[in-house]
Chains A and B, each alone.
Chain A
Amino acid sequence: MEICGGQTHSLVKNGLLGLLPDKIQMVHGPGCPVCVTPLHLIDKAVYLAEEKKVILCSFGDMIRVPGSSKSLLDAKAAGADVRVLYSPLEALKIAKENPQREVVFFAVGFETTAPANALSVVQAAHEGVLNYSILTSHVLVPPAMEAILNDTNNLVQGFLAAGHVCTIMGMGEYYPLVEKHKVPMVVTGFEPVDLLQGIAMLVKQLEHGECRLENQYTRMVNEQGNPAARETIARVFQTSDREWRGIGTIPNSGYELRNDYAAYDASKKFEVTLAKADENKACMAGEVLRGRKKPHQCSEFGTRCTPANPLGAPMVSSEGACAAYYHYAHTTKKPVTA
């Protein structure tokens, strides 16, 4: 299993799945932050933009994902002030430029985006900016891997760990997983040759009956990760139970703002009472995210569910497995098998 959606996309985009021998089956992991952001948080973001009239800032990926009634893109088209940004620090700048407006940044992501999101809060506190807050949906990789490994139906024999996440967090969290579950892992990058090398390293371990944590992505990842980034995360966030869309609640699998920074927590700052909506029953995103099903095994894939009219998040996110299959492998003549 490759953990990260970026790796999934690289595998499909570069046609690597078609080049692998039949005996090697890649299972696509849950590492798509957009896909696992719960429905009710998207609804909340839409509500903040439409009803509370905040300037809702988000990474581009997030805005097309369907909530229970609409996406942020729909809200924007209907007149809400939704802005696509590359960095939460841009959102902070917007807050400073618009002191009369509330600015909310939709802080979605794995450990990779956490440092910048944390930094925006530290900076806001330092500068006394009071009209800025973040709506957090931060999820963590190791607890998700633990959940997959604890699943009695798990068939995954080896993992390509997410290179970017380990660039921030280092490798320390993964040794216990390897030890406890006796499963080989290779921290892997995103270029086609990175992935091929990562797969080769994993296969060698399996052939030799080994289970170790190895690092393919040595040009970026070291044991400690990025200490400054980790320190910033630890200062602002604490771990908490977190709901994963399509998967359910995983203990200690997310970040929430520490009490010291509660003033910057959009969930606490704004009173939002929304009925909890149900997922679309036709969507099997949860099965895909847990690696139990491949996107094209869904009966709605490419028919009722397309990027233009998605039933679930994995079809719209640029890290989503369904989108990867649709964009790069969707062919009527010769379906790319994976």
Chain B
Amino acid sequence: MPKLDFDVITLGHGSGGTLTQQLLDSGVFTVLANPLLDQRHDGAIIPWAGPVAFSTDSYVVSPIFFPGGNIGELAVNGTVNDLAMCGAVPRYLSLSFIIEEGLPMTEFWEIITTIKNACARAGVAVVTGDTKVVERGKGDKIFINTTGIGTLHPKAAIGVENIRPGDVVLLSHAIAAHGMAIMSVRKGLEFESEITSDTRPLNQVIEKLLDAFGTQIHFLRDPTRGGVASVLNEIATDARVGFDIQQRLIPIEESVASACELLGLDPLYVANEGVFIAVVDAAIAHEAVALLRAETASALAVRIGHVTTEHPGQVVLTSAVGGKRVVGRLVGEQLPRIC
């Protein structure tokens, strides 16, 4: 960590004056250096040809450090993954901080170095950004916005209109880890084995999937907030189809399942940060699972169900004991139950 004269971020660091310059020079530009950022212009000028995917997201997670990651990593992976779900190869990110006065410099430094590493891992570059500081009490330590652009994969045709009855629903990894990791720190709960967030970039595995199967990948979505259940409901509504899924096929770590049970939460509605759902042509489902399983990011990939013309707009789950139920949309926040 460079010497920055201050132990904490002050209002002065957002004033646009000397302190801002000092923070950006030693705390941001040198860490994230790349030719486009080094232009140090009001914005990045990027030569481009062909279709672009464009996505933005803001990150307000509390606490900002959690088992398995921090807000910086989430901010990079989240936007990278949103671009990947469009069928794009993510290239460039913008990075904006809203920092609450008093954030320890050590924490800012840890976040910025995590961002650097996450960018390297995902193969993207931060090319423009902004830093604002708000008074103590007007924020929650640090908020981050990232916006990203990516090149559309030449073989990609991702869209709800491509979903067909008989298509197979694939899930890339074990669910609910991120939400429960956050929950465990927020509530000060300790479990026998620590639950860590699943935050990870998914763009490389998506690229491989599109390389191999192109237009036979009909739809992609990462079930972040609201979990697998909410995403499947959204797709069912938008595509005017139904989903039949099998509970026993949905992978979940035992510790995560126990934590959900203990807190009275349904893991199908708990957030993920490193999982995606793919709706694919039934003809390639088997091969697609094999391809995904060979990748660490999707090692537990599995087919969890299929698209049906029955019950359009609804997700029907067959429980582990063979009963059926509708998996509805969540109303408000999931709240812990009493007993």
Interfacial chain B residues near A329, Cβ < 8 Å: 325-326
Interfacial chain A residues near B310, Cβ < 8 Å: 333
Q: Are A15 and B325 in contact (CB under 8 A)?
A: yes
Counting CB contacts under 8 A, is A222 at the interface? no
Q: Are A14 and B321 in contact (CB under 8 A)?
A: yes
Counting CB contacts under 8 A, is B208 at the interface? no
* Closest A residue to B336 using CB positions: A60
Interfacial chain B residues near A175, Cβ < 8 Å: none
- The distance in angstroms between the C-alpha atoms of A27 and B335, with both chains bound, is 26
State whether A192 and B331 are in contact (beta carbons under 8 Å apart), knowing that A319-B338, A329-B326 are contacts in the complex: no
Counting CB contacts under 8 A, is A240 at the interface? no
Give the shortest distance, in Å, between B257 (CB) and chain A (any CB).
12
* Closest B residue to A34 using CB positions: B338
From A6, A64, A307, A333, B339 is in contact (CB under 8 Å) with A6
The 0/1 profile, CB within 8 Å of B marked 1, for residues 1-39 of chain A is: 000101000001111111100000000000001100000
Counting CB contacts under 8 A, is B17 at the interface? no
Q: Are A331 and B323 in contact (CB under 8 A)?
A: no
Interface pick from A105-113, A179-187, A230-238, A288-296 = A105-113
Among B264, B336, B339, which residue has the most Cβ atoms of chain A within 10 A? B339
Q: Are A109 and B338 in contact (CB under 8 A)?
A: yes
The 0/1 profile, CB within 8 Å of A marked 1, for residues 309-339 of chain B is: 0110010101111111111100110011111
From B187, B189, B319, B326, A14 is in contact (CB under 8 Å) with B319
- The distance in angstroms between the C-alpha atoms of A307 and B333, with both chains bound, is 11
Counting CB contacts under 8 A, is A78 at the interface? no
Counting CB contacts under 8 A, is A266 at the interface? no
* Closest A residue to B337 using CB positions: A318
Q: Are B335 and A61 in contact (CB under 8 A)?
A: yes
From B263, B311, B318, B338, A62 is in contact (CB under 8 Å) with B338
From A17, A61, A328, A332, B336 is in contact (CB under 8 Å) with A61
Main secondary structure of the interface of B (DSSP, over half): loop
Give the shortest distance, in Å, between A301 (CB) and chain B (any CB).
14
* Closest A residue to B312 using CB positions: A333
Interface residues of A in 298-338 (CB under 8 A from B): 306-308, 317-319, 326-334, 336
Q: Are B263 and A86 in contact (CB under 8 A)?
A: yes
Give the shortest distance, in Å, between A70 (CB) and chain B (any CB).
15
Interfacial chain A residues near B326, Cβ < 8 Å: 327-331, 336
Q: Are A33 and B339 in contact (CB under 8 A)?
A: yes
Interfacial chain A residues near B324, Cβ < 8 Å: 15, 18, 336
Q: Are B339 and A110 in contact (CB under 8 A)?
A: yes
Give the shortest distance, in Å, between B228 (CB) and chain A (any CB).
15
Give the shortest distance, in Å, between A87 (CB) and chain B (any CB).
9
State whether A15 and B328 are in contact (beta carbons under 8 Å apart), knowing that A6-B339, A318-B335, A319-B338 are contacts in the complex: no
Among B310, B316, B319, B323, which residue has the most Cβ atoms of chain A within 10 A? B323
* Closest A residue to B263 using CB positions: A86
Q: Are B332 and A64 in contact (CB under 8 A)?
A: yes
* Closest A residue to B322 using CB positions: A19
The 0/1 profile, CB within 8 Å of A marked 1, for residues 251-287 of chain B is: 0000000000001100000000000000000000000
Q: Are A336 and B311 in contact (CB under 8 A)?
A: no
From A63, A108, A196, A333, B311 is in contact (CB under 8 Å) with A333
Q: Are A14 and B339 in contact (CB under 8 A)?
A: no
From B319, B327, B337, A192 is in contact (CB under 8 Å) with B319
Interfacial chain B residues near A63, Cβ < 8 Å: 335
- The distance in angstroms between the C-alpha atoms of A330 and B338, with both chains bound, is 24
From B187, B319, B320, B339, A109 is in contact (CB under 8 Å) with B339
Interfacial chain B residues near A113, Cβ < 8 Å: 338-339
From B187, B325, B331, A308 is in contact (CB under 8 Å) with B331
Interfacial chain A residues near B339, Cβ < 8 Å: 4, 6, 33, 109-110, 112-113, 164, 319
State whether A12 and B325 are in contact (beta carbons under 8 Å apart), knowing that A61-B338, A113-B339, A164-B339 are contacts in the complex: yes
Q: Are B320 and A61 in contact (CB under 8 A)?
A: no
Counting CB contacts under 8 A, is A122 at the interface? no
Q: Are A108 and B338 in contact (CB under 8 A)?
A: yes
Q: Are B331 and A328 in contact (CB under 8 A)?
A: no
Counting CB contacts under 8 A, is A59 at the interface? yes
State whether A318 and B264 are in contact (beta carbons under 8 Å apart), knowing that A59-B336, A308-B332 are contacts in the complex: yes
* Closest A residue to B313 using CB positions: A332
Interfacial chain A residues near B311, Cβ < 8 Å: 331, 333-334
Interfacial chain B residues near A33, Cβ < 8 Å: 338-339
Give the shortest distance, in Å, between B314 (CB) and chain A (any CB).
6
Q: Are A319 and B319 in contact (CB under 8 A)?
A: no
- The distance in angstroms between the C-alpha atoms of A60 and B334, with both chains bound, is 9
Among A13, A34, A308, which residue has the most Cβ atoms of chain B within 10 A? A13
- The distance in angstroms between the C-alpha atoms of A326 and B337, with both chains bound, is 17
Q: Are A64 and B335 in contact (CB under 8 A)?
A: yes
Give the shortest distance, in Å, between B52 (CB) and chain A (any CB).
37
Interface residues of A in 194-219 (CB under 8 A from B): 196
Interfacial chain B residues near A6, Cβ < 8 Å: 337, 339
Interface residues of A in 258-281 (CB under 8 A from B): none
Interfacial chain B residues near A17, Cβ < 8 Å: 323
Interfacial chain A residues near B318, Cβ < 8 Å: 15
Interfacial residues, chain A to chain B (CB-CB below 8 A): 4, 6, 12-19, 33-34, 59-64, 73, 84, 86, 108-110, 112-113, 164, 192-193, 196, 306-308, 317-319, 326-334, 336
Query: Given known contacts A19-B322, A333-B310, what 9 new A-B pairs fall within 8 Å (CB)?
Result: A14-B323, A15-B321, A33-B339, A86-B187, A308-B331, A326-B328, A328-B327, A331-B316, A331-B326
Interfacial residues, chain B to chain A (CB-CB below 8 A): 187, 189, 263-264, 310-311, 314, 316, 318-328, 331-332, 335-339
Give 4 nearest A-B pairs by CB, closest first.
Answer: A15-B323, A60-B335, A307-B331, A112-B339
Residue contacts A-B, CB under 8 angstroms, 9 given: A13-B325, A14-B321, A62-B338, A84-B336, A86-B263, A192-B321, A319-B338, A330-B326, A330-B328
